[in-house]
Structure 1
Amino acid sequence: MWQKFGVNDQVLRQNMFTVDEVQYNLIHRICESERSTCLKASNETMIFAQSEGHNAWLWISKELAAAPKNKLLQELLEFLKGTELPGISGDQATVEHFAEVYSEANGLQFVPYMMMESYVCSEVRKPVHVEGTLHLATRQHLETVAEFLAGFSEAAYGVKVEPSSQVSSAEAVIETGNLYLWLVDGQPVSMANIAHRSPRHARINAVYTPSAFRKKGYASAVVAELCSILITEGLAPMLYADMKNTDANKVYQNIGFVECGQVADIKFK
């Protein structure tokens, strides 16, 4: 049986989920929104969470045997009948199985979109001899942040956008007070954002350095400083990285991030 739940539900604090919590950390953020669809199996061995218009996330406890797993998945498909999902994210074997049965039931096709590695950092290793200092982004950096966001869109997703189209997003992220820039002689050369804080972790995203400033340690420096801030707060820094971006993965590993499980991102069409 499936039932709705909210962000403070016990299912997000019980051991079966917390052992996979880094890999599935985004579920915390999804469940904070009242417009999201958050469902759990009554025995708390499975979670389905989707924010409107985005991929759903599906977590299944490793302790769950095959027969009850398939039964719960069939019940979930019944619950979702008539619901259009853009895609599904989670452990590769789990989401590929779901994608097969969901696509068959809805006359769709599914395509792999991205493979990500989830990382957590419990002890940060700051790079040495990197020029520059960390600064909180302010409105005076609005134009630069818009340019960086446009660059990030192309680098991370292959989507070219004009910096002018990113001004409102830049304003919004600056106003959170969680976007940081690495400055060298007053010039922003790299950025990183604390996207979300959950009870035990904090997720870093939007790590970007323009091509002219790469290979100088700036991304390593800004991310390492954010990790230090978060560890001081008593939170474990975590992030997701596209596995195809070998340079980024190497940067995170050198700082002290360790792998916590891959996430497959599948799209329906």
Structure 2
Amino acid sequence: MWQKFGVKDRVLRQNMFMADEVQYNLIHRICESERSICLKASNETMIFAQSEGHNAWLWISKELAADPKNKLVQELLEFLKGNELPGISGDQVIVEHFAEAYSKANGLQFVPYMIMESYVCSEVRKPAHVEGILHLATRQHLETVAEFLAGFSEAAYGVKVEPSSQIAAAESAIETGNFYLWLVGGHPVSMANIAHRSPRHARINAVYTPSAFRKKGYASAVVAELCSILIAEGLDPMLYADLKNPDANKVYQNIGFVESGQVADIKFK
């Protein structure tokens, strides 16, 4: 039996989910939106969460045996009849099993898109001798942030966009008061964003340094400083990193991030 739930539901505070919370941290953000579909099994061993137009996330407790797990997946597939999912994210074994069943039931194919590592940092190691300072982005940085977002789109997703198309996104990011730049001589050379705060963690994303400024420790420095801010707030910083980018993964590991579980991102077509 499936039940709808919200961000304050006890299922997000129970030990089974909290054991995997870093890996599935994005579920907190999804559940904050009233337009999201958030479902839990009545015994709280499975969560399905999807924000409109985006991949659904599927969590299943590691304590659940194979037979009841398969039964819940079949019940979920029945519940989702008529719903079109762009993709599914979560533990690779779990989401591949779901994707195979969902594709078969809906006459679709599924394609592995990305595998990410989830990381958490409880004790930050700041890089030494990195020139520059952390600076909160303001409207005076609007065009630079738009350029950086365009660069990030190409570097992270292989999607080329014009900086002018990112002005609105840059405005929104700056207005949150959580978007930071690393400045050297007053000039922005790297960026990172505090994307979301959940009860026990805060997620960092949009880490990017233009190619002309790489290999100088700027990304390490800006992320490390954000970690210090968050740890001072009593939150553990976390983030997701594409495993196809070994340089980024190394940066995070060097400043204290610890691997906390992989997430497979699968698309349906």
CA–CA distance in structure 2, aligned partners of residues 10 and 85 of structure 1: 26
Alignment of 1:214-233 (within 5 A): 214-233=214-233
CA–CA distance in structure 1, aligned partners of residues 178 and 75 of structure 2: 40
| Structure 1 residue 71, shift from structure 2 partner | 1.0
Offset from partner CA, 1:166-205 (integer Å, 9 cap, x none):
0000000000000000000000000000000000000000
CA–CA distance in structure 2, aligned partners of residues 118 and 66 of structure 1: 25
Task: Please list every run of 5 or more consecutive structure 2 residues that lacks an aligned counterpart in the other structure.
Answer: none
Amino acid across the alignment from 2:117: E
Amino acid across the alignment from 1:190: S
Structure-1 residue corresponding to 2:245: 245
Runs of 4+ more than 3 Å apart: none
User: How high is the TM-score relative to the length of structure 1?
Assistant: 1.00
State the SS of the aligned residue for 2:226: helix
Task: Please list every run of 5 or more consecutive structure 1 residues that lacks an aligned counterpart in the other structure.
Answer: none
Structure-1 residue corresponding to 2:37: 37
Structure-2 residue corresponding to 1:126: 126
Offset from partner CA, 1:231-254 (integer Å, 9 cap, x none):
000000000000000000000000
| Structure 1 residue 77, shift from structure 2 partner | 0.5
State the SS of the aligned residue for 2:63: coil
CA–CA distance in structure 2, aligned partners of residues 76 and 94 of structure 1: 13
Structure-2 residue corresponding to 1:97: 97
Structure-2 residue corresponding to 1:189: 189
Structure-2 residue corresponding to 1:53: 53
CA–CA distance in structure 1, aligned partners of residues 77 and 210 of structure 2: 44
- How many residues end up aligned between the 2 structures? 269
CA–CA distance in structure 2, aligned partners of residues 230 and 29 of structure 1: 17
CA–CA distance in structure 1, aligned partners of residues 63 and 2 of structure 2: 18
State the SS of the aligned residue for 2:203: strand
CA RMSD of aligned residues (A): 0.3
Amino acid across the alignment from 1:3: Q
| Structure 1 residue 12, shift from structure 2 partner | 0.1
Q: Alignment identity in percent?
A: 90
CA–CA distance in structure 2, aligned partners of residues 36 and 141 of structure 1: 33
| Structure 1 residue 67, shift from structure 2 partner | 1.0
